[in-house]
Amino acid sequence: MTFDKNLYSETKFVLLDTEIALPSSFVIITAENPFHRNETTKLDNILRNNKLERELSALNFNFSKTVGCSSDLKHCELSYLISTNDTELVLDLGVKYEQESIFIVIDNILYVSDCHIKHRKLTKIGLFADKIVHCN
């Protein structure tokens, strides 16, 4: 399965912990809506993200919660911003949690990569700072 770059290029991010300093490199992953199946219930999404959060903790990742949203902010998914350079491990988690892709940020440049091992490559989306939505 390959991802729709246009869909991902429109994604906005709401940082829930505005007190943290963003690391120079990090990844963003969710466990919600596996393979964009819209029939996933709210409870299922909560349970999936709880399981992912426990796994991130067990792996000793330093992470914080964020929200990835469509450009009109009508569709949002709780996600995890993980301070790591081990993108392969997080891509493997993406496969495990049935995600099409994950976001990768390197020096404020936002990339997306397909989680499927045969299609993994960084596709540049733009500046991460331009994708942040500030909620007051």
**pLDDT score recorded for residue 8:** 82
**pLDDT score recorded for residue 134:** 78
pLDDT averaged per 10 residues in sequence order, the chain, 136 residues: 70 86 93 82 94 97 94 92 95 96 96 92 94 81
**pLDDT score recorded for residue 39:** 76
d(C-alpha 28, C-alpha 38), whole Å: 20
* pLDDT per position as a tens digit, 99-126: 999 999 999 999 999 999 898 999 999 9
Instruction: Indicate the SS3 state at residue 82.
Output: strand
**pLDDT score recorded for residue 4:** 67
Enumerate the β-bridge partners of residue 63: 82
- Model confidence, pTM: 0.92
Query: Nearest CA to 131 among 75, 68, 80, 87?
Result: 68
**pLDDT score recorded for residue 127:** 96
Burial 69-86 (b: 16+ CB within 10 A, else e): beeeeeeebbbbbbebee
Q: Which amino acid is at 14?
A: V
Tokens coding 86: 């081990």
**pLDDT score recorded for residue 1:** 46
